[in-house]
Amino acid sequence: MSQKALWIFAPAVKQSQKNSITKQGKRKAQAGAFVRGLLFPAAVLAIWELAGYLGIISQTLLPRPTDIFVSFTDLLLTGNLLYHFQVSLLRALGGFLIGGTLGLLAGLLVGFSSKTEQIIDPTMQMLRTIPTLAVIPLFILWFGFGEVSKLLLIAKGAFFPLYVNTFLGIRSVDTKMFEVAKVLEFSRWKQIKNLVLPSALPNILLGLRLALGAAWLALVAAELMGSSEGIGYLITDARQFSQTTVVFVGIIIFAVFGKASDSFVRFFERRLLKWRDSYKG
């Protein structure tokens, strides 16, 4: 290769090497963050196991992590755990899709129209303050103990976080940006697509995370109120027979998959909000 060709391609090679080093640095940072995230739960489990082994804590009230793991494997091998988890997962997804979709649409509608806000928002804010547990008897009276009441209870839990954060995100857009849009002669649709929605996206994604968490919480309440299937039923049934290890298995499953769903949204949040330069701590 001639000296001239080397001179032309040298900047590209340097940039490629720089990008490769940056990617390696990001991977190392992510791996380090993952390891640091495991330190605290690992320490808690070690202390918990040791306290149980030495007899400091009661095995009936707080069984050792190894005993909980044995119960988990037994339930997994018999197929009971997978069946009940599948039922709970479908309930959570169904209720979240209903409530989250309606919450997003209502938030967009109220956010873009002050007249709609005056009509709908006062009622929504009043309904938002009603605890989920308070409406369980009413849902049972209206819809019975079937799947409809459970799905609607989960939908109620998922609705308001997305509604409030979508509405807040739209109304938090800086008005100076609209002045710039007028200078650039943006159409109404272009303003919404290129200005409002990107600015509101951080709030909408936050609402999505909160809605997922609320859906899992409502799922527990829905399954505890009267169900013959699901992880909540598994916990209730184990409580009646004083099977504390099985109760812990159910609680840990809710915790793990609640965290997994939150991490799933955070993954897309990092991808969609690359443009935002925020404080990393």
Q: What is the mean pLDDT of each run of 10 residues along the chain (281 residues)?
A: 49 54 65 76 86 81 87 86 88 91 92 87 88 82 83 91 90 76 74 78 88 87 78 84 87 87 82 66 53
Q: What are phi and psi of 55, to 5 degrees?
A: 80, 20
Contacts of 63 (CB under 8 A, 6+ apart): 52, 244, 245, 248
pTM of the predicted structure, to 2 decimals: 0.77
Reduced to 3 states (helix: H, G, I; strand: E, B; else coil), residue 33 is: helix
Separation between Cα atoms, residue 256 and residue 71, nearest integer Å: 17
Q: Return the pLDDT at 22.
A: 61
CB atoms under 10 Å from CB of 77, counted, come to 10
199 Cα distance to chain centroid: 21
Are 147 and 155 in contact by the 8 Å Cβ rule? The answer is no
Q: Return the pLDDT at 159.
A: 93
Q: Return the pLDDT at 6.
A: 46
From residue 74, alpha-carbon distances to 69, 88, 155, 189 in Å are 9, 19, 33, 56
Q: Return the pLDDT at 78.
A: 85
Q: What is the DSSP letter of 133?
A: G
Percentage helix, strand, coil for the chain under 3-state DSSP, each rounded to 5: 85, 0, 15
